[in-house]
Amino acid sequence: MSEEIQKKTQLTTAFYAQNVETVLEEVEARTDGLSSQEVTKRLNEYGHNQLDEGKKRSLLAKFLDQFKDLMIIILLIAAVLSVVTSHGEDVSDAIIILAVVLINAVFGVIQENKAEAAIDALKSMSSPQARVRRDGHVEEVKSTELVPGDIVLLEAGDIVPADMRLFEAASLKIEEAALTGESVPVEKELTTLEDVEVGIGDRVNMAYQNSNVTYGRGAGIVVNTGMATEVGKIAGMLANADETETPLKQNLNRLSKVLTIAILIIAAITFAVSLMRGTPALEGIMVAVALAVAAIPEGLPAIVTIVLALGTQVLAKRNAIVRKLPAVETLGSTEIIASDKTGTLTMNQMTVEKVYTNGVTLDATDEISHDDMVLKIMNYSNDTKVSQDGTLIGDPTETALIQFGFDHSYDVREEVKIEPRVAELPFDSDRKLMSTIHQLADGRFLVAVKGAPDQLLKRATKRLANGSETDLTEENRKEILSINHDLAKQALRVLAFAYKYVEKVPELDTEIVENDLVFAGLVGMIDPERKEAAAAVQVAKEAGIRPIMITGDHQDTAEAIAKRLGIIDETSANDAVITGAELNNLSDEEFQKVLANYSVYARVSPEHKVRIVKAWQNEGKVVAMTGDGVNDAPSLKSADIGIGMGITGTEVSKGASDMVLADDNFATIIVAVEEGRKVFSNIQKTIQYLLSANMAEVMTIFLATLFGWDVLLPVHLLWINLVTDTFPAIALGVEPAEPNSMKMKPRGRKASFFSGGVMSSIVYQGILQGALTLGVYGLALLIPEHAGNHDAIHADALTMAFATLGLIQLFHAFNVKSVYQSIFTVGPFKSRTFNWSILVSFLLLMATIAIPGFNGVFHVSNLSITQWGIVIGSSFSMIIIVEIIKAVQRGLGVDKK
C-alpha cells in the first residue's frame, strides 16, 4: 500500500475521542451504509483491506547471503589454497571444506524461509466474510473489500474484520488478548473518551481487526483498513524489525577475526624464515600457505552446527522446539526474560478462586453444598453452552463459573431440566447485571441475578447468612463491600449474586425483576498463575536471570500475579510497576535511567514491548522475550531470542520466534537456559580442544622448519585432523552439564569463547603438545634401532611423531572436560559417547601403523616395544602435566576469577 493511501486511511488515530457524528463526518459515511459506487471508488482510493506482502528475496539471494560470514570466507580461501599448495593433486581438504560450507548455507536458507512465514500468518488471520450495510440493506462481503466508511454488523462468534468506531453495542464483549494481552473480554461502551493518549486496551468504544466477539452484538464504522489498522501497524513493525545478532554469531565473528590475524602473522613469519634459510620464494610461499591452511579449524563450523543440532533434539524432547540453531546457545547467555503474563505465566483461563457465601469466605477447593444459593445462581444466571465432548463455550467469566460447578460435581445441565429457564434479562453494560427466571417444582419462580457488587447491593434488601434470610443493614453492606475490596486487592475479578422468589413471571423490566433481592454472596475469579511458574522464576533468579512481566492487563492484576510468582519482591525498591501511559511520559533517556527499577509493565502496547526490549539491550543485556499474541511479534523478533507459545500462540508469534514452547510452560524456558549454558560450555571445550590441537600442529611444523626437520607430512596432518579432531570434538560437544551450572551468573553479551581461562589454556596446552611431539621426534633420532640407516631412522622418527601427536590429542580430550576442574572431579568416563569416540579414534589412528598395507599410504614404519613405550609415555604425560597445572591454578584461586 502506498504512503499516500496510508495517509488517507489514517485521517486521525483518535476516533475513540470523537463522538459518532464527528467520526461519520470525517470518514464521509452514514449509519445506513455506503453505496456500491462509493465502495468501488474507495477501493481504488484506499486499496484492499489486506496486509502488504512486502518484497520477497529469491532463494539465490538468500543462498548467497550465507557466504557473507567472515569464517565462511576464510574457509573458502582455505579450500582454494589447499588445492594450490598440493598442485591440484590432493583436493580432499578442499572437498571437505566446501561440503561444510554448503551444508551451513542450505540450513541458513531453510531457517530464513521459516521466519518469513510470520507476515503470511498475519494475512491468513483475516476474517473471510463481513456483514455490512450497503445500498440500504445488509449483505455479506469479503473482508478484503471493506473500505473506510463501511458500516459493519457484529455478533457473538464473529472476527472483527477491520478497525471500527462502535455506535451500537448490546451487551457487546470482544476478546482482544492477541492485541492487548488482556485475558478478560472487554465490555464495549459507546462513551466518547476524553483522553487521547489512552491505550488500546482501554479504548472501549473501538473494535480492532482480528479480535473476537464473544458476547452480544454491535455495529461500527470502519475507520481504518489494511496496513493502517492496529494489526497492520504490527505487521509493519514486524517487517521492519531488526534481527538482533545472537551472542553465538558475535562470538564466532570475533573468533574468525582472531584466527584471521593469527593466520596472517603465522604465514608471514613462516615465509620470512624460509627466505632467511635460503628457500626459493615460490616454495616459501607454498610452505607459508600450507601452514596457514593447517591453522584453520575447518571442522569447527560443522561441529558447532552438530552440537547445536544435538542440543535442539534434547530440547525437543523437553517441549522446546528450536527454529533457529543459534537460539540454543543464546538462551544460555540470557540475563533478562521479558515474559508476557497471559497464557505464559498464567493459564489464560479464568478460574474461581474464592467464594463468599452464607457469611463465610471459602477457597475454591473447599467443599460446597449443592444447595448453596451462590453455587446455584452462578450456574443458572449463565449463558455458557456445553458441547457434546464437555467443552465449555462462551464468555470466559461465565465458563469459569460452570467449570467451578463441574469441579464440585454440580452439573447445571441436569439441574435446569428440573428447574428450567423460562425468561431472562440479558447482561447490559449500563446496569451491569444479568437475570434469569426459573420454574420451580412448587409452582413458584426463582429469579437468579449476577452482576457488579456495587450495583447489585443497591437492589438488595435482604441477605442470606447461616441458611436464613435477614434484613440487609448498613453495617452488612459495609462488611460485604469490605470483603469485595479485599478480594479486589488480590487482583480477583469479583461478581455478586442475589435472588428472590416470585409467584409468577414478572414483566421483564429491570426495575421490577431486579429489585427487592436477597444478597447471596460473592465470587472472586482470576486467570491463575501456572503451578510450575513460581518455581521456575525462583530458579531463574538463582541463575542470575531477571524475570520481567510485560502485559496488556490492568496494573493491579499484573502486580498481584507478579507478587504471587515472586517476580516482585515487596522488600526491594527495584521491583516497581509501571504502566504504558506512564512509560509514554518518559523520554528514552529518562526511561534508560530508571529501567532497573521496574519488573512489571502493565497496560502496554506493542511499541512499548519493543522499547523495553531495546532499552535492556542498550544496557548490554541479553534479552529473551516470551509471547503468544500478534502484539508480541515485533518484540519477539527484536529480542536476542524470541520464545513463542505452541498451544495458545498465534502463527504470527510462532513465526517471529527463535524457539517455541510446545507446552506453553514458563518452566520449560529454564530447562532451555540450562541446556543453552551447557551448549556454550561444550562449544568452548570444543574450541579449546581444536585450537590447542591446531596450535600444536602449527608449532610443530614451524619449529621443525627452523630446525630443518621433516616432522610431519600433509597426509599425517590430514588424518590426525580427520580422526582425532572430529569424533572427540563432537563428543565434547555433548558432554553433560558441569555441576552448579544454574547457580552461576549469566556470562552476558561480552563474554567470548576465549573467556573463563580458555584462551590461556589453548596457548599453554598447544605449546605443551607441540613440545612433547618435537621432543619425541628428537629422541627418536637418537635411538639406535637402525644405526647407520638414515632413511629407516627418519621413518621411525616420523612415525613416532605422528603417533605421539595423535595420541596426545586423544589424551588431551580428557583434560578439556573442564578448564580448571580435575578430570576425576568431572568424571573421566562419565559419558559413553565420549568413551566410544576416544576408542574409535584410537583404533583408526593405530590402523595406519598396525595394519599391513597402510604403511606405504601413510609413510610410516613398524615400531618396537621401546619406541611404543616412549610414544605412549610421552602422550599420557599430557594428562599428568595439565592436572598439575590445574591444581596450581585452583590453589591460586584462578578458577574463581
Given the residues 340, 632, 664, 725, select the one marked as catalytic.
340
Q: For cell 489494511, name the residue.
A: 226
Burial class (CB in 10 A: 0-12, 13-18, 19+), 214: buried
Query: 12-18: which pairs have CB atoms within 8 A and are 24 or more residues apart?
Result: 14/196, 15/165, 15/206, 15/223, 16/165, 16/192, 16/193, 16/198, 16/203, 16/204, 16/205, 16/206, 17/192, 17/193, 17/194, 17/195, 17/196, 17/198, 18/165, 18/192
Give the span between the Cα atoms of 858 and 840, in whole angstroms: 19
Please name the residue that has the C-alpha cell 585452583.
Answer: 890
**How far is 838 from 834, CA to CA, in rounded Å?**
6
Residues 6+ apart with CB under 8 A from 830: 736
Burial environment of residue 107 by CB neighbours within 10 A (0 to 12, 13 to 18, 19 or more): middle
Geometric angle at alpha carbon 748, from 747 and 751, rounded to 5°: 70
Which 8-state DSSP code applies to residue 74? H
340 counts as catalytic: yes
Cell representation of residue 887:
591444581
Distance CA 733, CA 831 (A): 11
Give the side-chain half-sphere CA count within 13 A for 521.
22
* CA distance linking residue 687 with residue 766, whole number of Å: 12
And the C-alpha cell for 318? 523437553
Q: Angle at CA 439, nearest 5°, toward 434 and 444?
A: 105
Q: How far apart are the first and last CA of the chain?
A: 57
DSSP state of 627: E
Which residues lie closer than 8 Å to 678 by C-beta, 6 or more apart?
311, 332, 735, 736, 737, 738, 741
Q: Do 129 and 140 form a contact (C-beta atoms < 8 A)? A: yes
Q: Rounded to an integer, what distance in angstroms lies between the CA atom of residue 102 and that of residue 98?
A: 6
| Residues noted as catalytic | 340
